[in-house]
Amino acid sequence: MRQIYILSLVILLTGCDIQTKFDSEKWKEYQDLEVYPNREAMLRDIIENKRFIGQDYQIVIDSLGQPENYTDINKNELWYPVIIDYGMDIDPVYIKHLTLTMDSDSIVTKVEIREWKQGEN
């Protein structure tokens, strides 16, 4: 009987995503080595509630801070790192970004999560 309780507790704790509502100040919190401790928990709220769809560039910048775009390939996209895992090296092995796509009037038309793993193109 005790094993059933322990197993149930383990399943409950590992099966639950920690989620929270979007909070601009918590989103912007930063720790060393590109660690953003609160962003992962806010993603579902941003995506499911279409929080930035229809918003203009300045509202996005005020809410999320400056994007960290490292390329000019897609000038109409704003990239915000959520998780950057370096493994045991100096090069990332996993990256997760929140990406916002804007139209020609600088209005957000699409919000998505993009992930990259080492070995993928």
In the chain, the number of structural domains is: 1
Residue 62 lies inside a defined structural domain of this protein: yes
Indicate the pTM of the whole model. 0.78
Within 8 A by CB and 6+ apart from 103, the residues are: 76, 109
* Residue recorded with tokens 């793993």: 117
Residue 8 lies inside a defined structural domain of this protein: no
Residue 6 lies inside a defined structural domain of this protein: no
Residue 89 lies inside a defined structural domain of this protein: yes
Residue 113 domain boundaries: 19-117
- On the question of pLDDT at 91 being above 80, the answer is yes
- pLDDT at residue 55, as a whole number: 97
Three-state SS at 56: strand
pLDDT, tens digit, 9 for 90 and up, residues 62-85: 999 999 876 666 789 999 999 999
Residue 72 lies inside a defined structural domain of this protein: yes
Residue 81 lies inside a defined structural domain of this protein: yes
Three-state SS at 32: coil
